[in-house]
Amino acid sequence: MADILIRKDRRAGRITFSRPQALNALNHDMALAINAALKAWQDDPEVALVIIDAEGERAFCAGGDIAALYHAARAGDHQVGRVFFRDEYRMNARIAEYPKPITAFMQGFVMGGGVGVGGNASHRIVGATTQIAMPETGIGMIPDVGGSWILAHAPGRAGEYLGLTGARMGPGDAIWAGFADSYIPESEWPALIGLLAETGDVARINGQPHPGAPLAAMDLSAFSGATVAEIIAALEAAGDEAALKPLRRASPLSMAATLELVRAARGDVSIRDSLAREMRFTARTTEFGDFLEGVRAQIIDKDRNPQWRADASPAHVAWMLASLGKDEITWEDE
């Protein structure tokens, strides 16, 4: 398909995002294609490892292609979004649990759905242009695609900070926070991809000392608050306007749910537990959350002025994260 190139190259399975004009945004067909390719290669003796990269300099994958979900939900069809999220999360789980090495070369913007692909790989390579973020609270969503699992394992309170504010991480911060593994100058990526395809040996990845991690020096103690209100009060007391600004713009429901998701994921046994909990929110968000208003403001009308109306009470947050019963996500391998 035109949006993604899937092929075998010597000892490697190759997946390349090929819609740079759309910042390689991930759509439903692309998610299905990635999952099918990985399933086919899992027991293929010719494939020793998988390489995921992207065309264009601006983005590895700047997120999910969510306009179709918006338009379907506005027309009253909320199932389009639910099916997309289910299939995307199954693909995310397959990447995270894959029995062969998966190397992801992540340049430029890596956000949302891009983190779900690259951030769940076993060998995650970043360069000088890399900017990684989970900015979902700004569009009435939550850090999904396994994002709550990755955030939960970040040092200290970095998970809460990154999940609530959607702050961007350069290569050093991304490695420190657990979203990436190796810093390699992007000029060296083509040769390394060729070497990996030729040898099938991830030991040939030799990361260099990465740039500093400013995030590691930040005082994130305010994000230990029990609620979003407590976190905001602590930031106001500290006069931390930089952190307060995104919190004042984000969906209150999304922030409250994100706080619950990140903290709950710290007790999860596997990424599947975190993905299942994320699915409970995303399955309901087009109908009972702020997602449609967030997408309208940021992507459709682009007025950047969302009018959040969803209930952000503890009871509604608990309901948004409650079991879906017979509609709970299932996994192909069960």
Residues serving a catalytic function are 64, 113, 136, 144
Cβ-based burial of 225 (10 A; exposed 0-12, middle 13-18, buried ≥19) = middle
Strand order of the sheet with strand 182-183?
4-9, 12-17, 49-54, 102-106, 123-126, 182-183
Residue showing tokens 């990996």: 196
Q: Which two tokens stand for residue 332?
A: 């192909």
Distance CA 150, CA 131 (A): 16
Is residue 3 a contact partner of residue 18, using CB atoms and an 8 Å limit? yes
Buried b (16+ CB within 10 A) or exposed e, 283-310: bbbbebbbbbbbbbbbeeeeeeebebeb
Rg (CA), the chain: 19
Helical packing angle, 271-288 and 67-74, nearest 10°? 50
DSSP string spanning 181-245? -EE--GGGHHHHHHHHHHH--GGG--PBPPPP-GGGGS--GGGG-SSHHHHHHHHHHHT-HHHHH
- Nearest one of 4, 1, 49, 3 to 205, comparing CA atoms: 49
Q: Which two tokens stand for residue 269?
A: 């046994």
Cβ-based burial of 170 (10 A; exposed 0-12, middle 13-18, buried ≥19) = buried
Q: Which two tokens stand for residue 270?
A: 């596997």
